[in-house]
């Protein structure tokens, strides 16, 4: 039975309508007359987190397959028609989700809805199609991971930090798994995860709400529901000892990667760590950036990022070192700055600046119709509530010194990190 629509008030000006159809599809509508465009997103609650060892990379492979032929449209027709109308289209796969999105003039809405609803249920999969896209993905893996130091080292960090949880295997998949996929693997994956009950459709921009809701109900509403098996993810045990890996790669200079286990995006502690990361790595004044890049000149670049995943993830630091410098030097400075934080704390001025930087970035990301649709779809898919978008920014804006220091002490504790020391391979 289709549930009655509910209205979610966000930021004092957004009126988001959420409706769940009888087949399980979640629809989010945000009319925005300030823009002349429409953005249509389809999010599926499936990513590499849903995969098991031996079948890694299927979610990413489907990102490629979904642009193929359906029972009623030939391969490439969707892209050609949207390009003719001046629209933009793309897709992405990550640990917790897969997403397809289009931004276009309002007159293209019927076309987009026709194609998106069609490929949700009518995708044509053959042995030839699967073999062709497997080859494309295998080449992508060679280019982005196996032949590039950054891709290889990022993969090494995660597979070392996560020994149990599915976050330890890469979204693109291991090469042996990619090469072994069969047509039946793909058909089963499609039947399991590409169904209305596992999808969130978000429409933001210039449109009539009642008209668009009626069209979505008419196109996707008749699709029968499909049971999606409950997700069984093994919880990563608490890491009690530091894991350190030394590796040599062909690259011009050394690199340092460090990952600390932290709570997932739904935990308020994650927001406090976003503020702390900005204090350490934000702009040229970040403590670690200032120490490693400008003062000691050990690194040519330094960055940090707090993961925004459904399950506990990583606070990551990466240093690209100057030629001739060793990763141990950068690690020593990083340890000194972190010890200062734990000993002396952070200032109120640093916290206010970090909160303001994050608030600016957050709201800048919501200026366009695509930005609005992206954030609504992300929070509805990952946390099951698009209203969490407002809670998230409140948590960041309200994170005080006590919150930041509590998060720092919980994160920068003995053994809770993985270190990758990468040095150039000499011929």
Q: Which of 6, 51, 63, 395 is catalytic?
A: 63
Shared domain for 166 and 271, answered yes or no, is no
Please state the separation of Cα 58 from the chain's center in Å. Answer: 16
Question: Rounded to an integer, what distance in angstroms lies between the CA atom of residue 375 and that of residue 356?
Answer: 19
- Let me know if residue 228 belongs to a domain: no
Contact 270, 263 (CB under 8 A): yes
Shared domain for 298 and 400, answered yes or no, is yes
Q: What is the pLDDT of residue 345?
A: 98
What are the two backbone dihedrals, phi and then psi, of residue 57, each rounded to the nearest 5 degrees?
A: 100, -5
Q: What is the pLDDT of residue 232?
A: 86
Q: What is the pLDDT of residue 303?
A: 98
Range of the domain at 323: 243-424
Q: What is the pLDDT of residue 58?
A: 97
Kindly give the interhelix angle for 327-344 and 401-411, rounded to the nearest 10 degrees: 140
- Let me know if residue 235 belongs to a domain: no
Q: Return the CATH number at 257.
A: 3.30.830.10
205, 220, 235: which is the final residue of a domain?
Answer: 220
157, 187, 220: which is the final residue of a domain?
Answer: 220
Segments of the chain scoring below 50 in pLDDT: none
Q: What is the pLDDT of residue 3?
A: 72
- Let me know if residue 356 belongs to a domain: yes
Shared domain for 283 and 187, answered yes or no, is no
Return the number of other C-beta atoms located less than 10 Å from residue 246's C-beta: 11
Q: What is the pLDDT of residue 233?
A: 87
Cα→Cα distances 77→41, 42, 60, 196, 215, Å: 19, 18, 21, 23, 21
Shared domain for 360 and 414, answered yes or no, is yes
Shared domain for 174 and 253, answered yes or no, is no
- The SS3 of residue 6 is strand
The two beta strands, 313-321 and 255-262, are: antiparallel
Active site residue 340: no
Shared domain for 213 and 157, answered yes or no, is yes
| Number of separate domains in the chain | 2
* pTM for the structure as a whole: 0.96
């Amino acid at each position: 039975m289709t549930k009655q629509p509910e209205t979610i008030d966000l930021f004092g000006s957004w009126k988001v309508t959420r409706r769940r159809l009888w087949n399980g599809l979640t629809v989010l509508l945000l009319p925005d007359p300030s823009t002349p465009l429409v953005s249509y997103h389809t999010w599926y609650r499936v990513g590499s987190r849903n995969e098991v060892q031996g079948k890694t990379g299927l979610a990413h492979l489907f990102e490629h397959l979904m642009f193929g032929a359906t029972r009623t449209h030939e391969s490439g027709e969707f892209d050609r028609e949207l390009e003719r109308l001046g629209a933009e289209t793309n897709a992405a796969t990550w640990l917790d989700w897969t997403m397809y999105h289009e931004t276009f003039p309002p007159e293209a809405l019927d076309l987009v809805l026709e194609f998106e609803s069609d490929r949700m249920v009518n995708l044509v999969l053959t042995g030839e199609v699967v073999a062709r896209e497997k080859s494309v993905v295998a080449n992508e893996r060679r280019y982005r991971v196996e032949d590039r130091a950054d891709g290889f080292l990022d993969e090494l960090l995660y597979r070392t930090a996560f020994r149990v949880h599915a976050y330890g295997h890469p979204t693109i998949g291991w090469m042996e798994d990619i090469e072994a996929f069969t047509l039946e693997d793909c058909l089963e994956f499609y039947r399991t995860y590409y169904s209305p009950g596992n999808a969130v459709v978000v429409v933001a921009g210039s449109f009539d709400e009642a008209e668009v809701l009626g069209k979505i109900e008419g196109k996707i509403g008749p699709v029968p529901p499909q049971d999606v098996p409950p997700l069984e993810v093994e919880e990563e045990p608490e890491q009690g000892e530091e894991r350190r890996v030394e590796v040599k790669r062909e690259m011009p200079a050394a690199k340092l990667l460090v990952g600390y286990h932290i709570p997932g995006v739904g935990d308020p502690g994650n927001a406090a760590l976003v503020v702390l990361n900005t204090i350490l790595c934000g702009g040229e004044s970040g403590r670690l950036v200032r120490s490693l890049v400008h003062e000691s000149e050990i690194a040519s670049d330094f960055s940090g990022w707090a993961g925004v995943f459904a399950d506990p993830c990583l606070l990551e630091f990466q240093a690209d070192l100057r030629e001739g410098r060793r990763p141990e030097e950068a690690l020593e400075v990083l340890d000194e700055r972190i010890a200062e934080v734990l000993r002396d704390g952070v200032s109120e001025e640093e916290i206010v600046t970090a909160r303001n930087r994050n608030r600016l970035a957050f709201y800048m990301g919501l200026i366009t119709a695509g930005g609005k649709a992206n954030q609504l779809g992300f929070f509805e898919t990952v946390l099951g509530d698009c209203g969490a978008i407002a809670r998230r920014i409140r948590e960041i804006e309200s994170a005080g010194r006590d919150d930041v220091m509590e998060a720092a002490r919980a994160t920068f504790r003995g053994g809770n990190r993985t270190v990758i020391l990468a040095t150039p391979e000499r011929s």
